[in-house]
Every structure is written in structure tokens, then in C-alpha cells.
Amino acid sequence: MRSSTVLISAILQSAFAPTDGFLQLPRSAVPVLSSHHRQSSPVENNLKSPLVLLSTEGKDEIINESETAEEDSPEPKLTIPTRTTTSISNDTNDNNGPGLIAGIFAAGVLLFFAASAILPLIEAVSTAPTANSNLGNSVVTRQDGPTVKKYESKFDALSKTKIQEKLSNLPVFYLVNDGIMSDNIYFSFNEAESAAKDASATVKVSTLDQVLYPLILKQGKVKTAAPTPAAIKEAIETVSERRFTLVPSSSALKDAKKTGTTLQQNDVPLFIVERLAFASDSGAQVPLFLEKSDAILSYNRLRSSSNTLPESPTVRTSSLMDVLDSMERGTRQGTSQLAFYGNADDVLKADEMTP
């Protein structure tokens, strides 16, 4: 009976084991910005946590170790409830017949309670995906092949509050002239600054969560991570009379064009390195970069600690609106593990401009 219980427990634990392999880069390797801009940016900096190369076979290779590295949390163990039984003895000479019957009865009771505990867990596994499930395919990309099945699940759909939290990691820049916000919203500070000189305006900074839903998608006021600037508040009040536009950097548009990635108005290209992830307290985070150069820089930093990685990474493309739709409808498993990363220089500049 004991061996049967151990076997059942082992089967359950294997069902919860992660299967997707990806490269994991410690998020502590990048600078942390102020509470207003909670973005961690992929700039070349000191690496303090171990880099882990996760393989599909489940054999993890520690690439770079450090005394400050945090240990991975152990996998939760499933405990099968059991009922304590008292053995029954008989002093009569009946070849221990009653004792054997009592033992069989106790084993049957134990098996019943074990099965009762297991069945709900099996049902939960079949209906609700785990946080680390299928991270390799957690992003909708323009290079998705025909083998990617259509999928939509409420378990993977994110609330608007959770999406807003992710959008708050991306700084945006806009122009203000006489207190009025301009129609263009830039992701590049340098390009916003050039436009400001031509318009005799001032460059201001905010985050994408402040402008995407109310100004670009025109879906009304939403909860934001920080107080809304006065110019943006005024723009929201008059949004029905105006048309605001997201302006990606010229370098991002150029890199996206090279891959044949087409974009609709108000869409922004994103770049993803295959199997690259950042370590964080909430698990592996799949980074979505605004700039291809930052994606490659992060990969090269990881590769410098391991000569087993290919010289060039596999970079895929997506777009802000594609990922937003996927998060809202839950068309990929692991959408909660996606993280937006702005350009390193722009993120640091935004932090400098934030009061």
C-alpha cells in the first residue's frame, strides 16, 4: 500500500514539473528605476545572480555563480491526506485471521481517501495552466508557424489592472505648448526633443499606462500607477475631438521593416529573443523589447558567461497591439510572465525627468 501511495505522489509531482527550456538572465543585473517608473532596463551592468540555461530535458546548467544569488524556491510538495488507523489484535488462535481482515479494510480506507484527494488536483491541472507553463510560446509573434494551435482561455487572460501594471514599465514622451499636450506620443526621448525644438515646445514624460487606453484606444479613464499629469488630464477630457498617435523610434521601425513586420497606425514593434528570460521574484519573465539592439545586448551579456550558446540569437517580432490582444483574451499560456522593456537610455532619461 505504501508503494502505491508513493507511486501516485510521484505521478502528481511529474505533472507539475516545467517542460519548456529557456535562457534565464537575472533581472537584478539591470538598474531599477524609481517607484514611478518601475522598469528594469537591459543595459550592460554588473551581474550578481547566477545565469541559468534551462534545457528541455530538465537538466539546468549554472552558467555564472555569485554569493548574492538567491536560491530557487523548491517545488511545492503534494500531501495526500491519510487516516490514522489502529491495528486490531485477537488473542484467540485463529491464525491471525481478524488482524489480516482489519489490515485489508484499513488499506481500502486509505486508498479511498487518497483517491478523493487526487481527483480534484487532476481536474485542476487539466483546466487551469500553471504560471510557468509553455513560456516558450507565451508571445504571439509574426513568425508563428501553422503548428501553433488557436487557443483562448480565461485562465490566461489578464485583467485591465494587471495589463496597466505592465504598461507602466514603459516611459513615453510628449510635447506641451502653453499647457496643451501635442497629438504625438513618442517612445524615443531624442526624437521627442527634436520635435520639440521645431515646435518651440517642452518635452514631458509619462508612462504608457497613462495614455494607451484613454487617448489611443479611447476606452475612458483607467486606474494608473501614478497621478495623471495635468496636460494628459486635459487631453482625456477632449479626446473625442482629437486623434493621438504613438510614435515608435525610427530604429525600431527600420528593424521591424527588415523582418517584413507590417504595422497598423498606433502600433509599435516588439522584439523577442527566443528562450531568453529574466529571473524575478515572481518567476521567469519573458522580455518584450522596444529596440532590437537591447534584445541582442541582453543575449550577448548572457552568452559572455557561456560559450555553449550560438553566436547570434533568434530574434522574433511582435507588436504592442498583438500582445495587448493576447493578454486581454488569453490566447497564449504564460501571458502573466510577459514584461515590457523600453530602451535603456530612454528609461534612464525618464527617471531623470521624473520629479
d(CA 197, CA 288): 31
Retrieve residue 23's grid coordinates: 535562457
| CA torsion through residues 198, 204, 205, 206, sign | negative
Predicted confidence at residue 134, as pLDDT, reads 59
The pTM of this model reads: 0.68
Predicted confidence at residue 132, as pLDDT, reads 43
Positions in the chain short of pLDDT 70: 1-134, 136, 146-149
Beta strands at 171-177 and 51-53: parallel, antiparallel or unpaired: unpaired
8 A C-beta contact, residue 145 and residue 206: no
d(CA 8, CA 96): 30
Given phi > 0 = left and psi -120 to 50 = alpha, else beta, which region is 200? left
Predicted confidence at residue 221, as pLDDT, reads 87
Retrieve residue 138's grid coordinates: 507565451
Q: What percent of the chain has pLDDT over 90?
A: 46
Predicted confidence at residue 280, as pLDDT, reads 85
At 247, which helix (H) or strand (E)? strand 245-247
Predicted confidence at residue 227, as pLDDT, reads 92
d(CA 315, CA 292): 8
d(CA 173, CA 189): 6
